[in-house]
Chains A and B, each alone.
Chain A
Amino acid sequence: LAKTTQPISMDSYEGQEVNITCSHNNIATNDYITWYQQFPSQGPRFIIQGYKTKVTNEVASLFIPADRKSSTLSLPRVSLSDTAVYYCLVGDVEAGGTSYGKLTFGQGTILTVHP
């Protein structure tokens, strides 16, 4: 499974846009990029997943350049409740893949949103 590198921590203020970049230089052809959010003493929660270009849902956008060696999670107008750890993961999400569903978590990025 491809290894990922993220900033250890980031600080922001309410209402700002936050961009967290993840490096995954060894991403494989079948790998997708998935981001999870985790609050203290809770299980991670799925945020967004993509393969290439741009993906957007109701909570975030995911930007993936053509070489797929990095990705950026964009959180628009963060609030205090967005303070959490954000994990970037890469892996095969196609059913039947040997690592299907199996996740390798990196260190994550601790995002702190200030008033």
Chain B
Amino acid sequence: GAVVSQHPSRVICKSGTSVKIECRSLDFQATTMFWYRQFPKKSLMLMATSNEGSKATYEQGVEKDKFLINHASLTLSTLTVTSAHPEDSSFYICSAGGGEQYFGPGTRLTVT
């Protein structure tokens, strides 16, 4: 099946700094990618839809100025967590594809 990768797999950063997470579709082009966040023992929550060449669409309650999304090519979307705080610590997962979504392996963010 199609492969979606994420980098890094885990990152630790200090409060107030910014962190960039990359999501790549390795063997197909994706005009749309999705970003999810998952807290421990909870389900995935959709954060935003990343659109190639245009602005991302954010779900209600997600701060667009805090979670910057860039989708500059058909195989890469990035999520930047700006001015990170401990409450931003979570598991971030991206997906791409069509009716069958392919998920990346996730990125564990820990903000200290």
Q: Least Cβ distance of B39 to chain A in Å?
A: 12
The complex places the Cα of A106 from the Cα of B36 at a distance, in Å, of 13
Interface size class of B (residues with CB under 8 A): 20 to 34
Partner-binding segment picked from A20-28, A43-51, A59-67, A75-83: A43-51
Q: Which of B43, B96, B98 contacts A108 (CB 8 A)?
A: B43
- Give 1 or 0 for each of B82-98: 1 = CB within 8 Å of chain A CB: 00000000010101111
Query: Would you call B8 an interface residue if the criterion is a C-beta within 8 Å of the partner chain's C-beta atoms?
Result: no
Q: Are B105 and A101 in contact (CB under 8 A)?
A: no
Q: How many residues of A contact B (CB 8 A)?
A: 23
The complex places the Cα of A105 from the Cα of B101 at a distance, in Å, of 13
Q: Least Cβ distance of B1 to chain A in Å?
A: 7
Neighbouring B residues of A105 by C-beta, 8 Å: 36, 43-46
Q: Which of A41, A93, A104 contacts B99 (CB 8 A)?
A: A93
In B33-82, the 8 Å CB interface with A consists of: 34, 36, 43-46, 49
Smallest CB gap from A95: residue in B: B98
Neighbouring B residues of A101 by C-beta, 8 Å: 32, 34, 95-99, 101
Q: Are A102 and B1 in contact (CB under 8 A)?
A: no
Neighbouring B residues of A106 by C-beta, 8 Å: 43
Q: Are A100 and B106 in contact (CB under 8 A)?
A: no
Query: Would you call A107 an interface residue if the criterion is a C-beta within 8 Å of the partner chain's C-beta atoms?
Result: yes
The complex places the Cα of A95 from the Cα of B44 at a distance, in Å, of 23
The complex places the Cα of A103 from the Cα of B104 at a distance, in Å, of 14
In B1-31, the 8 Å CB interface with A consists of: 1, 4, 6
Smallest CB gap from A103: residue in B: B101
Query: Would you call A29 an interface residue if the criterion is a C-beta within 8 Å of the partner chain's C-beta atoms?
Result: no
Neighbouring B residues of A87 by C-beta, 8 Å: 43-44
Q: Are B103 and A45 in contact (CB under 8 A)?
A: yes
Residues of chain B whose beta carbon lies under 8 Å from any beta carbon of chain A = 1, 4, 6, 32, 34, 36, 43-46, 49, 91, 93, 95-106, 108
10 A-B contact pairs sorted by A residue (CB < 8 Å): A34-B100, A41-B91, A42-B106, A43-B103, A44-B93, A45-B103, A49-B99, A95-B98, A100-B32, A105-B45
Residues of chain A whose beta carbon lies under 8 Å from any beta carbon of chain B = 32, 34, 36, 41-46, 49, 87, 93-95, 100-108
